[in-house]
């Protein structure tokens, strides 16, 4: 039975950074992921990472932009930590080997990004997430003696001891089907968001809300789950992401009349307003009949205004994406895009050291809600979030481990419970049930219809009803694969359960918040209401249902003001 | 706009190579017909088959947009990413209209389309010391390095570790110990990085290893296979050039000598003089090379192969003694290439990331041209110290193509 000081679930940027930090501080560390680490979805982050490294910049300016971007729902103590530690972290990454783009003087170059008051986004072409992820993995290979890797292991549940503290996980070796107990003094969840609860989404097929759901099931509160980011530039048909870097480099958004419609809603920042603002503006154009394309479902993103050489050098990935997935040469013609599900600001509630209210359980990255993003995340702040809070969680967990003895836990009963559940799914008869994939698709369509850019009570209630039905159905859903080696089918059924938890809490929180703030826009409550709703919504599992409570937003230097771009 | 969105769904039949390690039975073929728009990917086809007909089809996949590197497979015998191959293109290249899908090669199959990348690919990556050995002292802020050097290594940084190049590496098929295209491209990512302190040590290691940079047979398979234009073979050739020309490493495997002999023979004769290649590779790069003890020893040990070649008529005694004859004008043309390249002050290196100029060339008739093939640009290598990119357009008569060599017409099959 493997036992570690710090066990990290998820090997994207947050997880790998946490592992390196905890190992550096002398803890025995294991990192576990259901995929090989470089397949983690951090790889898809394109545009860059924010840090006030320019001599003209100040981290307070970055922090203010982040607070404003969050529509004042972000916790300012956490935002101050993230933004003030950003320059040091980015330099650390540079020293580790990240091939950041340089300017003519050989210093790190910076590009413009949405919602930022100046250029502060460091980047590697438009593969920044990939470059960061692969360089961190280089470090894991380097430190293979101090960081044990469990690649292609699927975590089925968190272990808690009699006092309710987290003491490890149960996980299945995907290659062999063996189910094992991993005990740990601390578990850090770093397994990303829940984009697959939506269809379409920019997120990979692996992004199924595992960590959020597992934490929720052992009693950890979820926070700000209603805040779901729709990215303004996704391919109309497949929902694939076109980086915000395109607009950062100067690309325009045009409606069917060829107008740069952003001047109506963001006359100063135009295309570089924050994402919630741009996505809403696009959706209004589409809804009011000024969309482009065969059935007016899209908006034109015109990258031809960016010098061609610059596009080929700095936006190469989307040149390929346009060519291969939309048949468009973006250096010559505009490409059709629309808003699409991209990120969840909410997640497992943590403090600034990644601690959840459950002792021994930490969370960092998209799975967590510290909250630095509040109602809306700024582009290029997510990579930063993963690294800063991944590191802090790793450091804190290592320190905690040093001061405690090994957890005392008899995991036999829980191991048997999980094993029985998996066996039961595999053995389910086809009669009277639906396929897992059908239920998943209906869930995704429902969320994308009712819990999207614009929401109202009626739609949300109908979504909740559907989700309850799908939860019933998921208990009878059947699969084909009866094997043990790489039985992805049975894991898909487990993931469906995770996604239903995420969808349910998202919709419940969206119904609860009767105002419009950040990514939550209620057509039946179109105004921001600071008097009643300048607070976080927390959801805790009680008797199978999410129980609502509230928590304060932390303010330090910036009071709420009218948000204009 | 190219309105590919308007094309209606069509039927595509997929023939999947299945293998269930628990059944005790041999691999078999399994056919499913799916209905999708023709520009959708093979991965979407496989996922539709999995969602609708058989959930037990095993394939790794996640991002669906050629960035996570999970879904390396073979389509109609060619390695690629499932998500990066269009159904219509796959159908067009299929023998009988049925798209044939198999797991990648050179790696053990675990189940269906899933191969053991740890056993081969990642082991080889680990072999090349795949982390930065940073120059000391570490600066307080970032290392100050030429802009183009970072863009240059970004081409290898763009590798998504999908294994497509490993799958069909011919050298690895013959010599499974060959470090291989992906890992050597990864090695270039550090050798080309001006922040790395151990360029010489890395190159020396990879030159002296008999399964290192000189084990590549220059077949271009990896260049074709790579979905991200990493150009692994090109990176291997760059490692060779930096090792021999800049670091003056002469390896014990005779890799460098072999290349020099090859190059000299082509320069002198316009064509390769095969019989001279071996003695010169071992004995020294001149006609007298064959009298060196090392060459004699090698010739002796190659005697069975030489005899076999004589018996089968692959070589004749006369052909071995005399070089091929080339018309004088042709010979001069070949030598003009040498003169032009050797007279350059700096070596040109191909880099796909520094690709193009602000003025776009007119669209060609070919569908969906890649930016890299529209304009190719050579930049000086980071080790040349200036960091100045020199750009050329393909309309100039540079003998440059994707993945081609433009320094010396070397070609080693050591």
pLDDT confidence band for B352 (50 / 70 / 90): low
Single residue among B114, B129, B162 that ends a domain in this structure: B114
Strands A545-552 and A535-542: antiparallel
Cβ-nearest to A94 among B54, B143, B149: B143
| Tens digits of residue pLDDT in A494-504 | 999 999 999 99
My answer on whether omega of the bond before B135 falls inside 30° of 0, hence cis, is: no
Q: Residue A406 carries which DSSP code?
A: P
- Residues B201 and B272 reside in one and the same domain: no
Per-residue pLDDT for B381 more than 80?
Answer: no
Alpha carbon of A427: minimum distance to chain B alpha carbons (Å): 14
| Tens digits of residue pLDDT in A465-517 | 999 999 999 999 999 999 999 999 999 999 999 999 999 999 999 999 999 99
* Residues of chain A found within 8 Å of residue B138, distances taken between Cβ atoms: 95
Asked whether the beta carbons of residue A139 and residue B131 sit closer than 8 angstroms, the reply is yes
Nearest residue in A to B192, CA atom:
A99
The answer to whether position B405 is within a domain reads no
My answer on whether omega of the bond before A373 falls inside 30° of 0, hence cis, is: no
Asked whether the beta carbons of residue A313 and residue B117 sit closer than 8 angstroms, the reply is no
Are A247 and A300 within 8 A, CB to CB?
no
Asked whether the beta carbons of residue B150 and residue A101 sit closer than 8 angstroms, the reply is yes
pLDDT at B309: 87
Does A140 reach chain B within 8 Å, measured CB to CB?
no
- Residues B242 and B129 reside in one and the same domain: yes
Query: HSE on the CB side for A240, CA within 13 Å?
Result: 23
Nearest residue in A to B388, CA atom:
A104
* Residues of chain B found within 8 Å of residue A36, distances taken between Cβ atoms: 70, 117
pLDDT at A479: 96
- Residues B386 and B271 reside in one and the same domain: yes
| Tens digits of residue pLDDT in B290-333 | 888 888 888 888 889 889 988 998 888 887 888 888 899 999 99
* Residues of chain B found within 8 Å of residue A97, distances taken between Cβ atoms: 131-132, 134, 190, 193, 195
pLDDT at B4: 52
Per-residue pLDDT for B412 more than 50?
Answer: no
Does B386 reach chain A within 8 Å, measured CB to CB?
no
* Residues of chain A found within 8 Å of residue B370, distances taken between Cβ atoms: 323
Per-residue pLDDT for A274 more than 80?
Answer: yes
pLDDT confidence band for B386 (50 / 70 / 90): very low
Chain A, 295-334: which have a CB under 8 Å from a chain B CB? 307-310, 312-313, 316-317, 319-321, 323-329, 331-334
pLDDT at B413: 40
Are B135 and B197 within 8 A, CB to CB?
yes
**Angle (nearest 5°) at CA B164 between B163 and B166:** 65
Does A101 reach chain B within 8 Å, measured CB to CB?
yes
The answer to whether position B399 is within a domain reads no
Alpha carbon of A548: minimum distance to chain B alpha carbons (Å): 34
**Angle (nearest 5°) at CA A415 between A410 and A419:** 165
- Residues B40 and B108 reside in one and the same domain: yes
The answer to whether position B406 is within a domain reads no
Per-residue pLDDT for B399 more than 50?
Answer: no
Task: Please give the mean pLDDT across all residues of chain B.
Answer: 85
A323 given a catalytic annotation? no
Per-residue pLDDT for A526 more than 70?
Answer: yes
Per-residue pLDDT for A63 more than 50?
Answer: yes
- Residues B264 and B334 reside in one and the same domain: yes
Full set of structural domains in chain A with CATH: 228-340 (3.90.700.10), 412-536 (1.20.58.100)
User: ipTM score of the complex?
Assistant: 0.95
Chain B, 86-145: which have a CB under 8 Å from a chain A CB? 86, 110-112, 114, 117-118, 125-126, 130-132, 134, 138-145
Asked whether the beta carbons of residue A101 and residue B195 sit closer than 8 angstroms, the reply is no
* Residues of chain A found within 8 Å of residue B195, distances taken between Cβ atoms: 97
pLDDT over 70 percentage in chain B: 83
Asked whether the beta carbons of residue A316 and residue B371 sit closer than 8 angstroms, the reply is yes
* Residues of chain B found within 8 Å of residue A200, distances taken between Cβ atoms: none
CATH for B16: 3.10.20.30
CATH for B177: 1.10.1060.10
Does B150 reach chain A within 8 Å, measured CB to CB?
yes
Alpha carbon of B271: minimum distance to chain A alpha carbons (Å): 38
* Residues of chain A found within 8 Å of residue B147, distances taken between Cβ atoms: 101-104, 106, 109
Asked whether the beta carbons of residue B67 and residue A323 sit closer than 8 angstroms, the reply is no
| Residue from A172, A247, A275, A513 carrying the catalytic annotation | A275
- Residues B201 and B216 reside in one and the same domain: yes
**Residue B35 neighbours by CB under 8 Å, 6+ apart:** B9, B10, B11, B12, B48
Of A214-223, A305-314, A335-344, B159-168, the one with minimum mean pLDDT is A305-314
The answer to whether position B82 is within a domain reads yes
* Residues of chain A found within 8 Å of residue B21, distances taken between Cβ atoms: 485
The answer to whether position B410 is within a domain reads no
- Residues B131 and B234 reside in one and the same domain: yes
Does B161 reach chain A within 8 Å, measured CB to CB?
yes
Are A209 and A219 within 8 A, CB to CB?
no
pLDDT confidence band for A327 (50 / 70 / 90): confident
Nearest residue in B to A207, CA atom:
B62
* Extended beta strands in A23-75, E state: 29-33, 49-50
pLDDT at A4: 97
Per-residue pLDDT for B392 more than 60?
Answer: no
Task: Calculate Rg over the CA atoms of chain A.
Answer: 22
What mean pLDDT comes out for the span A191-197? 97
What mean pLDDT comes out for the span B402-412? 38
pLDDT confidence band for B353 (50 / 70 / 90): low
Helices (H), A182-306: 210-217, 245-248, 262-265, 275-287
| Tens digits of residue pLDDT in A280-291 | 999 999 999 999
pLDDT confidence band for B253 (50 / 70 / 90): confident
Q: How far apart are CA A357 and CA A365, in angstroms?
A: 17
Asked whether the beta carbons of residue B368 and residue A204 sit closer than 8 angstroms, the reply is no
The answer to whether position B407 is within a domain reads no
pLDDT at A157: 98
Q: How many residues does chain A have?
A: 565
Residue A430, CA distances (Å) to A29, A396, A474, A478, B124 in order: 42, 48, 13, 6, 45
Asked whether the beta carbons of residue A326 and residue B51 sit closer than 8 angstroms, the reply is no
The boundaries of the domain holding residue B383 are: 255-359+370-390
The total domain count for chain B is: 3
Task: Please give the mean pLDDT across all residues of chain A.
Answer: 96
Nearest to B406 by CA among B352, B323, B342: B342
pLDDT confidence band for B252 (50 / 70 / 90): confident
The answer to whether position B305 is within a domain reads yes
Nearest residue in B to A310, CA atom:
B358
- Residues B18 and B54 reside in one and the same domain: yes
pLDDT confidence band for A313 (50 / 70 / 90): confident
- Residues B193 and B299 reside in one and the same domain: no
Alpha carbon of A220: minimum distance to chain B alpha carbons (Å): 28
- Residues B127 and B41 reside in one and the same domain: no
- Residues B383 and B293 reside in one and the same domain: yes
**Residue A301 neighbours by CB under 8 Å, 6+ apart:** A233, A242, A246, A247, A251, A252, A253, A254, A334, A335, A336, A337
- Residues B61 and B178 reside in one and the same domain: no
HEC secondary structure over chain B: CCCHHHCCCEEEEEEEEECCCCCCCCCEEEEEEEEECCCCEHHHHHHHHHHHCCCCCCCCCCCCCCCCCCCEEEECCEEEEHHHCEHHHHHHCCCCCCEEEECCCCCCEEECCEECCHHHHHHHHHHCCCCCCECCCCCCCCCCCCHHHHHHHHHHHCCCCCCHHHHCCHHHHHCCCCCCHHHHHHHHHHHCCCCECCHHHHHHHHHHCCCCHHHCCCCCHHHHHCCCCCCHHHHHHHHHHHHHHHCCCCCCCCHHHHHHHHHHHHHHHCCCCHHHHHHHHHHCCCHHHHHCHHHHHHHHHCHHHHHHHHHCCCCCHHHHHCCCCCCHHHHHHHHHHHHHHHCCCCCCEECCCCCCCCCCCCCCCCCCCCHHHHCCCEECCHHHCCCCEECCCCCCCCCCCCCCCCCCCCCCCC
Asked whether the beta carbons of residue A100 and residue B153 sit closer than 8 angstroms, the reply is no
- What number of other Cβ atoms are within 10 A of residue A43's Cβ? 27
Per-residue pLDDT for B360 more than 60?
Answer: no
pLDDT confidence band for B137 (50 / 70 / 90): very high
What mean pLDDT comes out for the span A423-427? 96
Strands B109-111 and B114-115: antiparallel
Chain B, 258-287: which have a CB under 8 Å from a chain A CB? none
Which tops the pLDDT comparison, B245 or B363?
Answer: B245
Asked whether the beta carbons of residue A138 and residue B131 sit closer than 8 angstroms, the reply is yes
């Amino acid at each position: 039975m493997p036992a570690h000081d710090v066990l990290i679930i998820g090997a994207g940027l947050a997880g790998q950074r946490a592992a390196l930090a905890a190992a550096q501080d002398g803890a025995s560390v294991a990192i576990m992921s259901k995929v090989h680490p470089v397949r983690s979805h951090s790889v898809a982050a394109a545009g860059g990472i924010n840090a006030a490294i320019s001599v003209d910049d100040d981290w307070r300016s970055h922090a203010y932009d982040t607070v404003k971007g969050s529509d004042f729902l972000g916790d300012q103590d956490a935002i101050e930590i993230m933004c003030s530690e950003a320059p040091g972290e980015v330099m650390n990454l540079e020293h580790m080997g990240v091939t950041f783009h340089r300017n003519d003087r050989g210093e790190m170059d910076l590009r413009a990004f949405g919602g930022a008051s100046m250029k502060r986004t460091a980047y590697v072409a438009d593969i920044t997430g990939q470059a960061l992820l692969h360089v961190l993995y280089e470090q894991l290979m380097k430190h293979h003696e101090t960081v044990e890797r469990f690649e292609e292991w699927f975590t089925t549940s968190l272990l808690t001891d009699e006092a309710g503290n987290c003491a490890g996980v149960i996980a299945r070796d995907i290659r062999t089907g063996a189910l094992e107990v991993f005990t740990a003094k601390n578990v850090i969840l770093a397994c990303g968001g829940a984009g697959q609860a939506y269809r379409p989404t920019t997120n990979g097929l692996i992004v199924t809300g595992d960590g959020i759901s597992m934490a929720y099931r052992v009693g950890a509160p979820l926070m700000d789950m209603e805040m779901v980011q729709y990215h303004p530039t996704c391919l109309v048909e497949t929902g694939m992401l076109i980086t915000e870097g395109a607009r950062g480099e100067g690309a325009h958004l045009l409606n069917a009349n060829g107008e740069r419609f952003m001047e109506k809603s963001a006359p100063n920042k135009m295309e570089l307003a924050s994402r919630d603002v741009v996505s809403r503006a696009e959706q209004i154009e589409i809804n009011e009949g000024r969309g482009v394309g065969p059935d007016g479902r899209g908006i034109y993103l015109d990258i031809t205004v960016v010098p061609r050489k610059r596009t080929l050098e700095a936006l190469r990935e989307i040149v390929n994406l346009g060519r291969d997935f939309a048949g468009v040469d973006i250096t010559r013609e505009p490409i059709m895009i629309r808003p699409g599900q991209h990120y969840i600001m909410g997640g497992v509630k943590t403090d600034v050291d990644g601690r959840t209210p459950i002792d021994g359980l930490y969370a960092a990255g998209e799975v967590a809600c510290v909250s630095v993003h509040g109602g809306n995340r700024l582009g290029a702040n997510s990579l930063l979030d993963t690294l800063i809070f991944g590191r802090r969680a790793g450091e804190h967990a290592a320190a905690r481990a040093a001061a405690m003895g090994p957890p005392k836990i008899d995991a036999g009963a829980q191991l048997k419970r999980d094993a029985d559940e998996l066996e039961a799914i595999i053995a389910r008869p086809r009669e009277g049930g639906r396929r897992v994939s059908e239920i998943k698709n209906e869930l995704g369509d429902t969320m994308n219809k009712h819990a999207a850019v614009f929401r109202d009570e009626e739609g949300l209630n109908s979504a909740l009803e559907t989700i309850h039905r799908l939860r019933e159905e998921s208990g009878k859903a059947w699969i084909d694969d009866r094997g043990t080696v790489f039985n992805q089918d049975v894991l898909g059924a487990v993931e469906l359960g995770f996604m239903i938890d995420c969808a349910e809490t998202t919709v419940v929180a969206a119904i609860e918040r009767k105002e419009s703030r950040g990514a939550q826009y209620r057509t039946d409550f179109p105004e921001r209401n600071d008097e009643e709703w300048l607070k976080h919504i927390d959801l805790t599992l009680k008797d199978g249902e999410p129980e609502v409570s509230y928590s304060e937003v932390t303010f330090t230097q910036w009071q709420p003001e009218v948000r204009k771009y | 706009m190219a309105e590919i969105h308007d094309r209606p769904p069509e039927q595509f039949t997929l023939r999947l190579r299945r293998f269930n390690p628990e059944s005790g039975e041999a691999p078999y073929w399994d056919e499913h017909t799916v209905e999708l728009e023709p520009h959708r990917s093979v991965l979407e086809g496989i996922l539709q088959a999995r969602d609708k007909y058989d959930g037990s089809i095993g394939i790794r996949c996640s991002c669906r947009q050629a960035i996570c590197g999970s879904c390396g497979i073979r389509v109609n015998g060619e390695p690629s990413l499932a998500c990066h191959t269009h159904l219509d293109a796959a159908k067009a290249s299929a023998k009988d209209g049925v798209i044939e899908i198999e797991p990648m090669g050179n790696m053990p199959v675990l189940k269906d389309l899933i191969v053991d990348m740890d056993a081969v690919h990642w082991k080889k990556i680990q072999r090349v010391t795949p982390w930065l050995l940073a120059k000391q002292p570490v600066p307080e802020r970032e290392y100050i390095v030429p802009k183009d050097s970072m863009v240059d290594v970004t081409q290898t940084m763009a590798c998504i570790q999908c294994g497509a190049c490993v799958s069909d590496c011919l050298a690895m098929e013959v010599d499974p110990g060959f470090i291989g295209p992906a890992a050597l491209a990864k090695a270039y990512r550090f050798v080309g990085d001006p922040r790395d302190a151990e360029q010489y040590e890395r190159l020396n290691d990879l030159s002296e290893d008999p399964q290192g940079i000189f084990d590549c047979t220059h077949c271009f398979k990896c260049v074709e296979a790579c979905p991200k234009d990493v150009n692994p073979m090109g990176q291997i050739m760059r490692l060779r050039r930096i090792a021999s020309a800049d670091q003056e490493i002469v390896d014990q495997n005779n890799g460098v000598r072999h290349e020099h002999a090859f190059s000299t023979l082509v320069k002198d004769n316009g064509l390769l003089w095969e019989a001279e290649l071996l003695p010169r590779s071992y004995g020294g790069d001149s006609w007298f090379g064959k009298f060196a003890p090392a060459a004699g020893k090698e010739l002796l040990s190659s005697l069975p192969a030489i005899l076999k070649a004589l018996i089968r008529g692959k070589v004749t005694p006369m052909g071995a003694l005399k070089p091929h004859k080339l018309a004088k004008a042709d010979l001069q043309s070949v030598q003009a290439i040498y003169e032009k390249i050797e007279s350059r002050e700096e070596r040109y290196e191909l880099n796909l990331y520094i690709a193009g100029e602000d003025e776009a060339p007119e669209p060609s008739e070919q569908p969906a041209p890649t930016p890299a093939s529209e304009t190719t640009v050579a930049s000086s290598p980071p080790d040349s110290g200036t960091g100045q990119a020199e750009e050329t357009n393909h309309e100039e008569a540079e003998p440059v193509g994707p993945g081609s060599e433009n320094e010396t017409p070397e070609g080693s099959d050591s």
